[in-house]
Chains A and B, each alone.
Chain A
Amino acid sequence: MAEVTIKNLELSYDKKHDVLSDLSMKVKNGELVSILGPSGCGKTTTLRIIAGLLKPDHGNILVDNHDIGRTPVYKRDFGMVFQSYALFPHLTVFSNVAFGLKMRHLSRHEIQNKVKQVLEITNLTNLAKRFPSELSGGQQQRVSLARAIVVNPRVLLMDEPLSNLDAKLRVEMREDIRSIQQKLHITTIFVTHDQQECFAISDHVAVMNHGKFEQIGTPQDIYYHPQTLFVAHFVGYENFFKVEKQIENNEYQVNHQVIHTDFDHSYEPKYLTIRPNEIDLHQHKNNQMNEFNGKVVNFSFLGGSYRYMIQTDLGLLQVDQNDKDKFDVNDSVYVSLNSQLVIPLLK
């Protein structure tokens, strides 16, 4: 149980290119915060700095308002699930999980009980006597998870702990992580590049790009109100319109056309965006706001819906429709953009 504050972290491996720049975030007591970002954006680097395995060039890590920069790693009482699992190859599953408890000088009896309990949660009970080399990737990942949570750490750091599990187990394990985390009230930082996973279990999500947090907010915030092009793209927005100028309070000129947005905002947007499934496609002109003429270029099946590419005066639009019978390639169509769902982006 602790509150973690990251303050202005900066790091460069080669003293030339910044891997992290001015990274700040606060994780409240008992919260689960996800760091979401593409490969190579600096997620692992950030976790390693928080754990103390890497010294930042600038910035501080505070736990309950104490700077822990000088606290050695082994005294921090953190838990960490490594991306590469990092299991002890010479120890059995049981001894791997028991290691942290031994370091905390628990009695043999207590260790037995706790390890048993956590092995049950992680479905590893009948593998307890195996060595890591005798386990599948997913099983190793679960051992690494068990080893980190069994010590009930002050702060739990998880680096893509579910990446190697199949879809079903992945959902099961993330529910388990969430329930353990909430039951024990462990402050947790969870790294992933799977947005569904992170939305499902996080209190807050920090979207990371090129060593910076683009946006920090609740999953709903990130999903419905992305603030930047990058975040919008990452959470499934596909249609982006570069704003040429503001015409009226809520009207912007895009490609010599006018788009109206009813999304409440106080900043001057650089782009407007809308999800493919929030654009309406119809055959006849309805004379609505944000209605444009276009032509079907092609379509493809996404599973559950069809994605149409429509050439319009706004540019090429991606539109999702539930059935494909209505329109064919080269059909003339009208698209209308729900003005409530046109999101203005800051950058």
Chain B
Amino acid sequence: MKKRMILLTFPGILALLLFVVFPMVQIIIPTLSGQGSFGSLYLNFLKDTYNQRIILRTLWISLLTTIIVLIIGVPLSLWIARMHHRIKKILILVILFPMLTNQIVLNFAWIILLGKNGIINHVLLSIHLISRPLSLLYNNTSIVIGSVYLFIPIMVVSLLGSLSHLNIEVEEAATVLGAHPSTTFFKIILPQISTDILTGVIWVFSWTMTSYTTPQLLGGNDDLVMSTLIYQQAMTVQNWTLASVISIVLIIISVGCILIIRSLIKLLDRRVAHA
């Protein structure tokens, strides 16, 4: 019985080895030693203050994006979940729209909106809120704006399912017992959906960390993030080994962050449960 099971999984395991593990090993091996001693490529990369700034910038953009997506996404999903089902369908369609469209097209839309001669500056200037056009494009701000727009649907989708299943009477029970609506939100609603929020956070964070199109199109040349740096090393400088090094660093940082987020939320969850 057991033998047969192993036999049956063999094609799957083979495919995994061939298409996932083998290429990974192919990428990793050249980065380990390089010209110097073992791991020197990684050390040199991490020691460079320019690279450090890029890593920090990537982390900062991802963190900021995740927090903004969270702040907008959670109430938005709750609001949608509580709508009449006909309006709900329309709203979901509107929210999901960015996911159905090409990322490049979406980012070009932001270029039109945020540029020096863009619509936003134009409006702000014409109502005399500002005297000189703001530089909204080709910096961290525009990357965050673009990423938030891109990833809100992911948060909404991962929350909507469980929110629709929440029993409203449970919240009403809290209210009758004297809980202010904000208390009900934090002590009753949030704990019930914390695992789904966690899923959403991990999705958004890791996708922002690794996304390439948005920082490439909306970020400035002086404001590289790790993914654009990889591209630059591989395609412009033709230094594939360094590109691999950066990729591995990116993967390790992402996984590390995800683990930290998970344990943080678990801790929070436990405290809420005993509150």
List A residues at the B interface (Cβ < 8 Å).
51, 53, 73-80, 82, 84, 86-92, 95, 99-100, 102-104, 144, 147-148, 151
**A99 CA / B183 CA spacing, docked (Å):** 11
Q: Is B167 an interface residue (CB 8 A)?
A: yes
Q: Which residues of B are found within 8 Å of A77, using beta-carbon distances?
A: 178
A-B pair number, CB within 8 angstroms: 67
The answer to whether A86 and B172 have CB atoms under 8 Å apart is yes
Given A79-B177, A151-B177, 8 additional A-B pairs, CB 8 A: A53-B175, A53-B176, A74-B179, A82-B169, A86-B173, A95-B273, A95-B274, A147-B177
26 CB < 8 A contacts A-B? A51-B176, A53-B172, A53-B175, A73-B172, A74-B175, A74-B176, A74-B179, A74-B180, A78-B176, A82-B169, A84-B169, A86-B169, A87-B173, A88-B170, A89-B170, A89-B192, A90-B191, A90-B192, A92-B273, A99-B179, A102-B275, A103-B177, A103-B179, A147-B177, A148-B177, A151-B178
The answer to whether B191 and A73 have CB atoms under 8 Å apart is no
The answer to whether B176 and A88 have CB atoms under 8 Å apart is no
Does more than half of chain B's interface fall in helix, strand or loop, or is it mixed? helix
The answer to whether A73 and B175 have CB atoms under 8 Å apart is yes
Q: How big is chain B's contact interface, by range?
A: 20 to 34
Q: Which residues of A are found within 8 Å of B273, using beta-carbon distances?
A: 90-92, 95
Q: Which residues of A are found within 8 Å of B181, using beta-carbon distances?
A: 74
The answer to whether B175 and A88 have CB atoms under 8 Å apart is no
The answer to whether A87 and B170 have CB atoms under 8 Å apart is yes
The answer to whether A88 and B167 have CB atoms under 8 Å apart is no
**A148 CA / B173 CA spacing, docked (Å):** 9
Per CB-CB distance, the 10 closest pairs between chain A and chain B, nearest first, are A103-B178, A100-B177, A86-B169, A86-B173, A90-B191, A80-B176, A73-B175, A86-B170, A74-B175, A53-B172
Q: Which residues of A are found within 8 Å of B192, using beta-carbon distances?
A: 89-90
Most buried by B among A77, A80, A90, A91: A90
Most buried by A among B173, B176, B181, B273: B176
The answer to whether A104 and B178 have CB atoms under 8 Å apart is yes
Q: Which chain B residue lies CB-closest to A96?
A: B173
The answer to whether A80 and B191 have CB atoms under 8 Å apart is no
Q: Which residues of A are found within 8 Å of B32, using beta-carbon distances?
A: none
Most buried by A among B169, B178, B188, B274: B178
Q: Which residues of A are found within 8 Å of B274, using beta-carbon distances?
A: 95
**A76 CA / B176 CA spacing, docked (Å):** 7
**A15 CA / B53 CA spacing, docked (Å):** 63
Q: Which residues of B are found within 8 Å of A95, using beta-carbon distances?
A: 273-275
Q: Which residues of B are found within 8 Å of A53, using beta-carbon distances?
A: 172, 175-176
**A80 CA / B171 CA spacing, docked (Å):** 12
Within 8 A of A (CB), among B182-198: 183, 188, 191-192
Contacts A86-B167, A103-B178 given: A80-B183 contact, CB under 8 Å? no
